[in-house]
């Protein structure tokens, strides 16, 4: 079995178990606090619908998380073993913005 197929299979089983148990976020379920990605799917869907207030309300760093994840996946799939500093910089900055937003949310709102 190819590694990519195995990863997709494990992810499908994991999310199926989480759905059956009714757990939407394992970090929130285990520790009682939201993770940096909580609300990202709803935020991106709100942004696609043009609901900017909904986007900001769910997770204003969702676009940065989506960008970092998408670029990392793109780099892994299409540029195996090749490192591009510009892509790595964008990934790091996007992750830093998302984490900064998370820390701000914890400090300002007591998540």
Contact present, 111 and 33 (Cβ < 8 Å) = yes
- Using a cut of 0.85, tell me whether the model's pTM lies above it: no
Residues 6-18, mean pLDDT to the nearest whole number = 81
Backbone phi and psi for residue 50, each to the nearest 5 degrees, phi listed first: 90, 10
- Tell me what the pLDDT averaged over the chain comes to: 78
Token output for 102: 């998370």
pLDDT digits (tens, 9 = 90+) for 40-93: 888 888 888 999 898 888 888 888 888 877 777 777 666 655 556 667 777 788
What's the CA gap between 104 and 111, in Å, rounded?
Answer: 10
Please calculate the CA angle 64-65-68 and round it to the nearest 5 degrees: 85
pLDDT of residue 79: 65
What's the CA gap between 70 and 49, in Å, rounded?
Answer: 20
Distances (CA, A) of 67 to 10, 44, 89: 24, 11, 12
How many Cα atoms occupy the beta-carbon half-sphere of 41 within 13 Å?
2
As a whole-number percent, the residues of the chain with pLDDT over 70 amount to 85
The domain ranges of the chain are 1-31, 33-109
């Amino acid at each position: 079995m190819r590694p990519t197929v195995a990863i997709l299979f494990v992810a499908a089983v994991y999310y199926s178990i989480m759905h059956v148990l009714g757990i939407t976020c394992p970090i929130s379920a285990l520790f009682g606090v939201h993770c940096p990605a909580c609300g990202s799917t709803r935020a991106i869907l709100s942004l696609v619908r043009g609901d900017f207030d909904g986007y900001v309300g769910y997770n204003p760093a969702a676009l940065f998380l989506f960008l970092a994840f998408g670029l990392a996946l793109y780099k892994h799939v299409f540029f195996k073993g090749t490192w591009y500093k510009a892509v790595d910089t964008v990934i790091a900055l996007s992750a830093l913005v998302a984490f900064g937003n998370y820390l701000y949310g914890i400090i300002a709102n007591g998540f």
